[in-house]
A and B are shown apart, each in its own frame.
Chain A
Amino acid sequence: MSADGTRSVGRGRSEPRSERDGLLVIEGLDAGYGDLQILDGVDLDVGDGEYVAVIGPNGAGKSTVLKSIFGLTTYMGGRITFGGEDIGGLPPEAVIRRGISYVPQTENVFPSLSVRENLEMGTYILDSVPEDALRAVFDRFPILQERQSQRAGTLSGGQQQMLAMGRALMLDPKLLLLDEPSAGLAPDLVDEMFDRVDEINRAGTAVLIVEQNAKEALRRCDRGYVLVQGQNRFADAGEALLADDEVRREFLGG
């Protein structure tokens, strides 16, 4: 994990990648938008059922990592594999079919569609909307069932975030990508949101989360990555990163 100078903080937690059962493995990823390169040799992996957080300052390229997995950036080099298969540069539809769902940071619901229609759109690649998937999402987020015929644009920010997650869960993905789900939420809702992510992860879905709220994300996750200027800076267990002096001073506000 240190071929490009990434420093591992913890002692003994970071096994070599080959020994971990990598569901998603990113190696030496270079990506950006058009001619502008943002990511420079990023390494990152997520195991089956693992909860991984990516933190770092603004403009570090955290969201770009998620977008690259989804084929939304200009792919410049490196490898992205999922379940052993190369998925680098595949269009979003193909990535979804392989079991990855993505919740963008903002504007992540269709405002003029009803709550239920938003959820149905999550299963567009299937021939019909599976009733049990809908029931599972309604069980997880009862408020969505209550509001199912309401236009999504009329929901509160927190409810929209639940709807966006619900839509992403409709296909029961193996890996859920979350881009700053706590952004723009009222403080008391942030905790609830993190609890939801914990529940989703406990139910067996691997989670790759990008967060501004670094402390909380590291407290909750199994492992964390610190990204700076498009490059790996630290990688370790969440607890270990939280305890590290340098990480605390530079990225967690002391």
Chain B
Amino acid sequence: MADTYSRGKRVFVERPLELVLLTVGVALVADLLSKLANGTVTVLTLSIFLKDGIVIGLVIGLAGVGLSMTYSILNFANFAHGEYLTAGAFAGWVATYLVAGAGTVSAGDLFLLGVSGGADAGTVGASVFSTPLAVLVGFAVAVAFGVALALALDRLVYRPMRGQGAISLLIASIGVALALRYLLAFVFGTSRTGITGGTLPTYTVPVIDLIFNAHELALVAAALAMMGGVHLLLRRTKLGKAMRAMADNPDLARVTGIPTERVVRATWIIGGGLTGAAGYLVVLETGTISFDYGWTLLLLIFAAVILGGIGSIYGAMLGGLTIGIASTLSLIWIPSDFTHAAAFAVMILILLTRPSGLFSGVTTA
């Protein structure tokens, strides 16, 4: 009895933060249940929030995997990562437009994605359903462009700076980010443009009437497939194991005979490809594109990566889902303008209790 009391007291004294968090968590769950019970929030609303959270979370996680990979192996935080996302998306959607609108709209207009001229989203009508081939081609081009961009920038900027320290590289990457962003703005303009068109088939989950559209399903399937692919790569292949070895200890990797420059290149190829893919998928799901959306998303991506334990691939995936779901679920209590704030609040709270992230200690590549 006295023992239980003193243990309780010790928890209270030593870990007050956890106690407060636990209390707040319990209060939120209780509030949610009461809202469900009295009908302020319906099961359908809740499932829509969860679905949106998972969709956003997967895309953030996918982009986060690329960021985390380059961080763990090259040991620097690439602030241009958001622009890789945007650039991959623009390249991919230009390709989709060129295929989908060939013959009906002039190629020049198609190339500019409707910034000017007659290639507006309604005319081209690009979607997974109406123009599946164009979307597949665009996806492939987005991946390829992501790879090419990552390799080119590594060759031009980061490789000559290797060994200069993380801060110099970080600042260089901010420069790269600005240059890329305004290059895109120069070509495609600064307004947000509608991209997808036509009507989409939807699928209804029975009982709770939750509706998925084809683009959300495509995004979920593609993101899960790519994450599974990364998992197999890291666990089963020689290259993947070498990437994990390099993340553990680059010097030891060198004296073990691992060709480290080649592994670095492979890291950029995979990271760049995943990022280009994520960029394309975001636009497929949201239906709009703008020159700075990657930059806006980068904060959430960083939040996910840090939350998961920076450098951990699985942490990035889990962190992405956490951030995505936290930002949408917060809509139950707060207005939509503050969802980012809620996501960051969750990140800060988790880091306060687990300072090195959810996957700390099991960093993998």
Q: Give A contacts to B, CB under 8 Å.
A: 70, 72, 92-93, 96-97, 102, 104, 107-113, 117, 120-122, 124-125, 167, 171
Give every chain B residue within 8 A of A171 (Cβ-Cβ).
257
Give every chain B residue within 8 A of A108 (Cβ-Cβ).
252
Known interface pairs A104-B252, A120-B238; A92-B257 also in contact (CB < 8 Å): yes
* Contacting pair B248 A92 (CB below 8 A): no
* Contacting pair B258 A124 (CB below 8 A): yes
* Contacting pair A102 B255 (CB below 8 A): yes
Give every chain A residue within 8 A of B254 (Cβ-Cβ).
72, 92-93
* Contacting pair A112 B362 (CB below 8 A): yes
* Contacting pair A96 B241 (CB below 8 A): no
Q: Which of B245, B247, B362 contacts A121 (CB 8 A)?
A: B245
Q: Which partner residue on chain B sits nearest A171 by CB separation?
A: B257
* Contacting pair A121 B256 (CB below 8 A): yes
For the complex, what is the distance from the CA of A117 to the CA of B237, rounded to whole Å?
10
Give every chain A residue within 8 A of B38 (Cβ-Cβ).
none
* Contacting pair A112 B244 (CB below 8 A): yes
For the complex, what is the distance from the CA of A96 to the CA of B238, rounded to whole Å?
18
Q: Which residues in chain B, 207-262, are within 8 Å of chain A measured between CB atoms?
A: 238, 241-242, 244-245, 247-249, 251-259
Q: Give B contacts to A, CB under 8 Å.
A: 238, 241-242, 244-245, 247-249, 251-259, 362-364
For the complex, what is the distance from the CA of A139 to the CA of B85, rounded to whole Å?
50
For the complex, what is the distance from the CA of A107 to the CA of B254, rounded to whole Å?
13
* Contacting pair B363 A92 (CB below 8 A): no
A168 vs chain B, min Cβ distance (A) = 9
Q: Which of B242, B247, B255 contacts A92 (CB 8 A)?
A: B255
Which 4 residue pairs are nearest across A and B when measured between Cβ atoms?
Answer: A96-B257, A110-B248, A110-B245, A125-B257
Known interface pairs A104-B252, A108-B252; A113-B245 also in contact (CB < 8 Å): yes
* Contacting pair A124 B238 (CB below 8 A): yes
* Contacting pair B364 A112 (CB below 8 A): yes
For the complex, what is the distance from the CA of A107 to the CA of B250, rounded to whole Å?
11
Give every chain B residue within 8 A of A70 (Cβ-Cβ).
255
Instruction: Give me 9 A-to-B residue pairs in the complex whose CB atoms sit less than 8 angstroms apart, sorted by A's number.
Output: A72-B254, A97-B257, A104-B255, A107-B249, A109-B252, A111-B248, A117-B245, A120-B238, A124-B259
B246 vs chain A, min Cβ distance (A) = 9
Q: Which partner residue on chain B sits nearest A168 by CB separation?
A: B256
Q: Which of A102, A111, A117, A125 contacts B241 (CB 8 A)?
A: A117
Q: Which partner residue on chain A sits nearest B248 by CB separation?
A: A110
Q: Which partner residue on chain A sits nearest B241 by CB separation?
A: A117
For the complex, what is the distance from the CA of A158 to the CA of B259, rounded to whole Å?
28
For the complex, what is the distance from the CA of A94 to the CA of B157, rounded to whole Å?
28
For the complex, what is the distance from the CA of A92 to the CA of B245, rounded to whole Å?
16
Give every chain B residue within 8 A of A125 (Cβ-Cβ).
257
* Contacting pair A113 B238 (CB below 8 A): no
Q: Which of A97, A107, A122 contacts B256 (CB 8 A)?
A: A122
For the complex, what is the distance from the CA of A92 to the CA of B261, rounded to whole Å?
13
Give every chain A residue within 8 A of B258 (Cβ-Cβ).
93, 121, 124
For the complex, what is the distance from the CA of A110 to the CA of B242, rounded to whole Å?
10
For the complex, what is the distance from the CA of A120 to the CA of B242, rounded to whole Å?
10
* Contacting pair A124 B248 (CB below 8 A): no
New contact pairs (20) apart from A112-B362, A113-B248, CB-CB < 8 Å: A92-B255, A93-B254, A93-B257, A97-B257, A102-B255, A107-B249, A107-B251, A109-B252, A110-B244, A110-B245, A110-B252, A111-B249, A112-B248, A112-B363, A112-B364, A117-B245, A120-B238, A120-B241, A121-B241, A121-B258
For the complex, what is the distance from the CA of A70 to the CA of B254, rounded to whole Å?
10
* Contacting pair A167 B249 (CB below 8 A): no
* Contacting pair B259 A93 (CB below 8 A): yes
Q: Find the residue from B242, B244, B247, B248 having the highest chain A CB count within 10 A.
A: B248
Q: Which of B241, B255, B257, B259 contacts A113 (CB 8 A)?
A: B241
Q: Find the residue from B244, B245, B255 having the highest chain A CB count within 10 A.
A: B255
